[in-house]
Structure 1
């Protein structure tokens, strides 16, 4: 009996040794490249940390602000209240309107780039006002998809949710050498170069990559099949249409059937997005799709983790927001017209001495049609007025623009350049004697029910009118409905009918495309019929498309900033899926 037990024990030891040997051989033969095949995700938050309740109190003619445990004096000047937090972390600028303080919160110190968000402080006691500071969150999210090519090497592409940094880099592959990782590729297709380097920790299964232009190192971990990398998970089901909810934001809602839109056609459109393959950097990144007809919101769908309350950078579609502010100020009586000279207004009412004739002839309309004549071109890095160069090096964008050299006579040539609408916005602020912040709040945001937004700032804390405002998509769409209704929102006139007509009309050519007053005229062929409209267009798929003859507004947000995916959002999605579903007889 004892002998049999010993034999069994020896047998078990032998089998265990064999199994261990097999495992060791498998480990030795395993290709280390397999360890990094898959979908990886990294996310970092960069602040801002100044946030929370803000209490302003009045004692006679003086004010103090209490926030985050700090009590600071409030400056009162020209009817405005302002203060800076200690250590120059953030700042505040507001007005007492009735018994409410309406204000902007600056998330960065004066002299640095940042964003402004609205703050409303309601009465608290006889001499106090209380509100909540909610700054624009600065986060960066990366996805790295690594796959095997037929030749055994690793293909890869990098997706950045907020800015499409991977598309801008042109990542095409990964090289692993021991624990060293390199992302390779480039915008040029001829050959791969090393773009990003990092390491792989096999014990923790973490890829660490360094992105100097995006805040430093990021730790990537394997993501799950429900990842927001996909429109709606890796294995989405069949989409079934649902009516959007009616909220307290000014939108009435209805079903697509009630407004003459084919339900099956709309389900096919959304299913096309849901099923979109994400195996290429050029795969369209649709974050939101909304449709309104006859003034009613009938479709509201979000993808890639975006949601109803999320602010989305509207990029150059913000130029059309600037047009709305300018038109609203005109209607409200600001002493400015499309024919008003730029330099006369920006110099306080008189032309600067020795101003060259071409600058003397420049008007607001020239700025709004991109035909100012400035030597500026957003597609030419060598142009003195190039937008990217301005953001990198300049403090006061208005002062910088006014000093630029001229390349053409005003009105002769239209070239796409974002300094033009930015100066136009500054011009209307100077003419009205009121910051564009407060013009927007008073004349546009309040009547449209827009309370949640973020506005990019130059280093002098001027609001940037050339694009980049962040809005929730339901509010973004309101600018299209306002234009469709001839400048009114729920019966309240905000823009003149003539301004709306000119804004959406072809006034100039930029290249071979028509341009109005910071809006783009559009035409789509559906069957044998041409459907005309106009649009606010922003890089990456930020679109508000207006079709007057169909009483239709379509709004999209997207993330294809550095890749070709935006062409689907502004093209095939509209022409092949949405417009064919709209019945013209309704």
Structure 2
């Protein structure tokens, strides 16, 4: 059930006047958006603060600075940290809380979340072996390590807040560098890099031959209208044709989905058809959460079954010990946005793609699926997008001219980037919290083999 925030009329009027006088540019929203802005601010504050505090282990000052990077108004939030929860209010209004669960990370307390309390992940399997099977490092390249350290220092001297840089060359982790308060075990939010991971979950189901999505509508509620023609390939290519507001403004589809909904996927599930499926590329976090919902339903429809699959079929085979994919309050993975992983674990995800679906002696994804994932789509407006991966080539111009044409990427808000370069045998991970542009092409090009 969607929770409504009731704001006394006199209080609302006083706040609207005060916010109008403070200037919309300073606050990041106008006074007319106040009710929706309160819901977004407290939902975002509770959710992100909970995960940053309990999952990443960040201190309260850093958390507030991260929130304020989205809007100075977030500095006005009152964040109350409990033993396993965070509650956020704005001038006493919009009270919203999020709860931490060890194996699930944090979820907003919207609607009935009791079923999440009993979910447990399979026990981790520690391996005493070199990366990627384990965490032993015997392959650091001293010269490349110095170069990487210099890039991180330059980034952070310029206020770009780079938190992790990891370079893998020919299957070996050859350099890693971390910002203050971060180490090789710190789970870091990848934002939309999680979209690629959601696609890989589907790819794993396909490899196991349990991903039959042909012949019937993807969802029963779409059976009697134009959405019945949407195929899984359309979702994977962000070409579903669904109308979805990806802008991150108060009251938009995206903000309601991430910060105010019991079921994140319901927002996109109810979206009307706007274009013919497959013809128009339109980047949509809602689309990814439909994939996560489909995966969830096919696995049995429970958070426990989904978490079992995630760990046994992806995280454990890849040697990922420091990763959490969070659910919405209904128990479905928020595949668009909420995966926290260490720099080394992010690199593992890139390496299995580089190795055409194999890692640690196991076939995780089919070679055919990996090839399709990095191939251009057939949309009329932008083919440079594969199965939830951004492509450097495939269009009229390279996305990053400094980087190999065959490179493809996981990309996320705050300038998160994971590059997979088959031509050079390289995986590069950059995780940070940059509100401005980040020189991804310039920096990554310095880390490629000299022969490229």
Q: Distance in 1 between matches of 2:76 and 2:338?
A: 26
What residue number does 2:184 align with? Answer: 308
Q: Are 1:515 and 2:399 counterparts?
A: no
1:390 aligns with 2:257: yes
- Structure whose residues are more often strand by fraction: 1
Q: Does 1:323 align with 2:196?
A: no
Per the alignment, residue 211 of structure 1 pairs with 77
- Give the superposed CA RMSD: 3.4
Aligned-partner Cα distance in 1 for 2:414–2:88: 22
Structure 1 CA distance for aligned equivalents of residues 423 and 204 of structure 2: 24
Asked if 1:378 corresponds to 2:246, the answer is yes
- Does residue 1:473 correspond to 2:349, yes or no? no
- In 1, Cα distance between the equivalents of 2:339 and 2:56? 14
Tell me the equivalent position of 1:166. Answer: 68
Q: Where do 1:26-425 residues align within 5 Å?
A: 136=55, 141-142=60-61, 160=62, 164-169=66-71, 210-212=76-78, 215=88, 246=130, 249-250=133-134, 253-255=137-139, 264=143, 267-276=146-155, 278=157, 283-337=159-213, 339=214, 341=216, 344-347=217-220, 355-356=224-225, 358-379=226-247, 381=249, 386-425=253-292
Displacement of 1:432 in angstroms is 3.8
2:241–2:273 Cα contact (<8 Å) kept: yes
Mark the CA change 1:268 to 1:455 in structure 2 (over 3 Å): closer, same or farther: closer
- Do 2:239 and 2:277's aligned partners in 1 also have CA atoms closer than 8 Å? yes
**Who is 1:540 aligned against?**
414
Paired with 1:377 and 1:295, the residues of 2 have a C-alpha distance of 39
SS in 2 for 1:334: coil
Look up the SS of the partner of 2:407 in the other structure: strand
Specify whether residues 352 and 277 from structure 1 end up closer, same or farther in structure 2 by C-alpha distance, changes over 3 A only.
closer
**Aligned residue pair count:** 352
C-alpha separation in 2, matches of 1:116 and 1:334: 35
Aligned equivalent of 1:505: 375
User: What's the TM-score once normalised by structure 1's chain length?
Assistant: 0.54
Q: Is the 8 A contact 1:416 1:510 kept in 2?
A: no
Q: What is the DSSP-based 3-state SS (H/G/I as helix, E as strand, rest coil) of the residue aligned with 1:405?
A: coil
Partner of 1:31: none
Which of the two has greater helix per residue?
Answer: 2
What SS does the aligned partner of 1:315 have? coil
2:297 is aligned, of 423, 430, 434, to 430
Rounded to whole Å, the distance in 2 between the matches of 1:381 and 1:135 is 27
Task: Mark the structure with the bigger radius of gyration.
Answer: 1
Q: Deviations over 1:300-347 (max 9, x none)?
A: 11112211111111110011111111000111121424x565xx3433
Q: What secondary structure sits across from 1:168 in the alignment?
A: coil
Instruction: Tell me how far apart the structure 1 counterparts of residues 164 and 64 of structure 2 sit (CA, whole Å).
Output: 14
Which residue matches 2:98? none
CA distance in 2, matches of 1:439, 1:409: 33
The separation in 1 between residues aligned to 2:227 and 2:330, in whole angstroms, is 24
Shift, 1:500, TM fit: 0.3
Post-superposition CA distance 1:30-56 (Å, at most 9, x none): xxxxxxxxxxxxxxxxxxxxxxxxxxx
How far the C-alpha of 1:474 sits from its partner, in A, is: 0.8
Distance 1:277 1:308, change over 3 A: closer
Q: Distance in 1 between matches of 2:204 and 2:215?
A: 16
| Structure 1 unaligned regions, length at least 5 | 1-111, 118-133, 143-159, 171-194, 197-208, 218-244, 258-262
- 1:325 to 1:256, Cα distance in 2 relative to 1, 3 A: same
Per the alignment, do residues 396 and 272 of structure 1 end up closer, same or farther by CA in structure 2, a change over 3 Å counting?
closer
Residue 538 of structure 1: how far off its partner (Å) = 1.2
Are 2:339 and 1:446 aligned? no
Distance 1:367 1:532, change over 3 A: same
> Structure 2: how far apart are the matches of 1:505 and 1:382?
35
- TM-superposed CA distance for 1:552, in Å, is 0.7
Alpha-carbon separation, structure 2, partners of 1:309 and 1:382: 34
Equivalent-residue separation in structure 1 for 2:251 and 2:385 (angstroms)? 21
Q: Which residues of structure 2 form unaligned runs of 5+?
A: 1-45, 80-86, 91-128, 393-397
CA deviations on 1:400-419 (whole Å, 9 max, x unpaired) are 43222222221121111111
Structure 2 match to 1:129: none
Shift of 1:210: 4.3
* Partner residue, 1:564: 436
User: Post-superposition shift, 1:431?
Assistant: 2.6
Q: Higher RCO, 1 or 2 (CA under 8 Å, sep at least 6)?
A: 2
Residue matched to 1:483:
353
Is contact 1:289–1:555 with CA below 8 Å preserved after alignment? yes
Residues 1:394 and 1:571: Cα distance change in structure 2 (over 3 Å): same
Cα distance in structure 1, aligned partners of 2:136 and 2:283: 36
Structure 1 residues 424-478: Cα deviation after superposition (integer angstroms, max 9, x where no partner): 1221232343643222112111211223322222221222111221111111111
Deviations 1:192-218 (A, max 9, x none): xxx58xxxxxxxxxxxx743478479x
Cα distance change of structure 1 residues 507 and 287 upon mapping to structure 2, 3 Å threshold:
same
Which TM-score applies when normalising by structure 2? 0.69
Q: Is the 8 A contact 1:398 1:423 kept in 2?
A: yes
